[in-house]
Amino acid sequence: MPTTRMTNYDRRMVRLMNNPQGRPLYATAARRRLVVAVHITLTAAFGALMTHLYLAESEPMWTILVMAVLLLPWMIATGVINAATRGLLELRERVLDERQSAERSRVLARAHRVMTLLLVTAAAGLLMAGAASGDAPRAYVAPVLIATLVAHWLMPLWVAGLMAQDEPADDEAFVVTTADSMT
């Protein structure tokens, strides 16, 4: 465990991120991938609704209502991913052990590489759309930049959720299985 002193906030966050109640939601790699996919889908839906709100000239009230309804499942999915990673990105560095600190560095490096590819794709898409129409698509620049910023903000969470490992098997189950196979 870390050698620096933990504050009450740190202890509460460690307890929250290691709460076993939600473990069935992220117990397997397939479930973690599903939660990350749901989170990405909900985030994309928010982006699409924000773009519609930005570009549409009609009544925006239904868009705002749909975004309000989608907010709760988005927050739940965020919490499940954070719990699956045991707060890898939410806990302060001084609370993490050496393994977790190294894992955080790997996650952030991989998220950085993915974001670089996403930025190149977004820039190339805007440039190609501008070249095809003979003019820069100014109406889409702001939504694309905002979507890229949101992806930049959430990419470490998504990568951490996808890279999270299964919990190790209980030692008792291993001992019983090993003892049974020897007889």
Q: What is the model's pLDDT at position 177? A: 47
Q: What is the model's pLDDT at position 178? A: 46
CA gap 95, 17 in Å, rounded: 12
Asked if residue 183 belongs to a domain, the reply is no
CA gap 13, 24 in Å, rounded: 20
Return the HEC string of the chain: CCCCCCCHHHHHHHHHHCCHHHHHHHCCHHHHHHHHHHHHHHHHHHHHHHHHHHHCCCCCHHHHHHHHHHHHHHHHHHHHHHHHCCCCCCCCHHHCCHHHHHHHHHHHHHHHHHHHHHHHHHHHHHHHHHHHHCCCCHHHHHHHHHHHHHHHHHHHHHHHHHHCCCCCCCHHHHHHHHHHHHC
CA gap 15, 6 in Å, rounded: 12
Torsions phi, psi of 129, nearest 5?
-65, -40
| pLDDT above 50: residue 24 | yes
Q: Determine which of 35-39, 60-64, 96-100, 134-138 has the lowest per-residue pLDDT on average.
A: 134-138
Asked if residue 152 belongs to a domain, the reply is yes
**170 or 36: which leads in pLDDT:** 36
Asked if residue 126 belongs to a domain, the reply is yes
Asked if residue 1 belongs to a domain, the reply is no
Q: Give the residue numbers spanning the domain of 55.
A: 8-169
Average pLDDT for residues 6-18, to the nearest whole number? 88
Could you tell me the pLDDT band of residue 122, with boundaries at 50, 70 and 90?
A: confident
Asked if residue 178 belongs to a domain, the reply is no
| pLDDT above 70: residue 8 | yes
| pLDDT above 90: residue 165 | no
Average pLDDT for residues 156-162, to the nearest whole number? 94
Asked if residue 181 belongs to a domain, the reply is no
For residue 158, the one-letter residue type is W
Average pLDDT for residues 107-127, to the nearest whole number? 92
Count up the domains in the chain and report the number: 1
Q: What is the model's pLDDT at position 161? A: 93
Average pLDDT for residues 41-45, to the nearest whole number? 96
**pTM for the whole structure:** 0.81
Asked if residue 159 belongs to a domain, the reply is yes
Asked if residue 114 belongs to a domain, the reply is yes
Angstrom CA distances, 23 to 49, 100, 142, 149, stand at 32, 19, 39, 30
CA gap 67, 42 in Å, rounded: 10
User: In the chain, what is the straight-line distance between the N-terminal and C-terminal CA atoms, in Å?
Assistant: 39
| pLDDT above 90: residue 44 | yes
| pLDDT above 70: residue 144 | yes
Q: What is the mean pLDDT of the chain?
A: 85
Average pLDDT for residues 79-100, to the nearest whole number? 90
User: Quick check: 147 and 47 in contact, CB under 8 A?
Assistant: yes
| pLDDT above 70: residue 2 | no
